[in-house]
């Protein structure tokens, strides 16, 4: 039985849970932002107006718009857009 847990020494399960929860919340906020931008874009609003309404930079809004356009309107999937958007972000 001890061998089962030998690799968990120094492993902080509470920190991992907290970090995972935090990452999930951040992803949820990003999905909401993408969805809001997509709806406003579909209504014909400019990136500048969208940025003002969602309280984000025009640069960020333009990055999301590029990601949305790269997958096409028929295939809109906020999760796919998020993946494309995150890949385009500097590390």
Tokens 């061998």 belong to residue? 3
Whether 75 shows a pLDDT value over 90: the answer reads no
Query: Is the predicted pLDDT of residue 1 greater than 60, yes or no?
Result: no
Q: Assess contact for 25 and 17: CB atoms under 8 A.
A: no
Residue 63: count other Cβ atoms within 10 Å of its Cβ. Answer: 19
Indicate the pTM of the whole model: 0.79
Q: What secondary structure does DSSP assign to 7-26, as a single string?
A: GGTT--HHHHHHHHHHHHHH
Whole-number pLDDT of residue 5: 61
In the structure encoding, which two tokens stand for residue 15, read together?
């920190």
Q: CB neighbours (10 Å) of residue 51?
A: 20
């Amino acid at each position: 039985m001890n061998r089962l847990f030998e690799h968990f020494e120094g492993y902080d399960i509470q920190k991992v849970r907290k970090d995972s929860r935090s990452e999930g919340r951040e992803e949820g906020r990003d999905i909401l932002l993408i969805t809001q931008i997509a709806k406003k874009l579909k209504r014909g609003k400019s990136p500048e107006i969208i940025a003002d309404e969602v309280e984000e930079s025009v640069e960020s809004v333009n990055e999301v718009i590029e990601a949305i356009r790269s997958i096409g309107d028929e295939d809109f999937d906020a999760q796919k857009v998020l993946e494309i958007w995150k890949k385009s972000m500097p590390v």
